[in-house]
Amino acid sequence: MVLFYVTNAFLEVSAGVAWWVTTKTASGLYNGVSYLMYGNTELTEDQKKEIMVIDFEDEDNKEQMNQLLIEIKSLRNEITDLKKNK
């Protein structure tokens, strides 16, 4: 009876280890090939700094926000037109 439980535990652990090794190897190969083909795709520090923070108390920022909203509306309209023409 003990032999059954020892065998069962050994098979369970070895299957878990095999699964872990297989998934980590496949993930490593995929990421390695992706890196070799496409290069590094992470954002640089300059790209991260491009995120704008707008203070609504400043008049210049209100004007900038209005311009951004107008641009967003025009882009939405262009997308709608492209969907209709499709």
The pLDDT tens digits of the residues spanning 14-67 come to 999 999 999 999 999 999 998 898 887 776 666 666 666 655 566 666 777 788
* Reported confidence tier of residue 68, pLDDT bands at 50, 70, 90: confident
| Residue keyed to tokens 């209709």 | 84
CA-based nearest residue to 65, from 78, 75, 55, 77: 55
Sign, Cα dihedral of 23, 28, 33, 34:
positive
- Inform me whether the pLDDT recorded for 11 exceeds 60: yes
| CB neighbour list of residue 74: distance below 8 Å, 6 or more residues apart | none
* pLDDT, position 6: 95
* pLDDT, position 78: 92
* pLDDT, position 57: 63
* pLDDT, position 63: 78
Percent helix, percent strand, percent coil in the chain, to nearest 5: 80, 0, 20
* Reported confidence tier of residue 84, pLDDT bands at 50, 70, 90: confident
In angstroms, the Cα distances linking 72 to 19, 23, 65, 76, 86 are: 48, 43, 10, 6, 21
Q: Under a CB-based contact definition with an 8 Å cutoff, are residues 28 and 21 in contact?
A: no
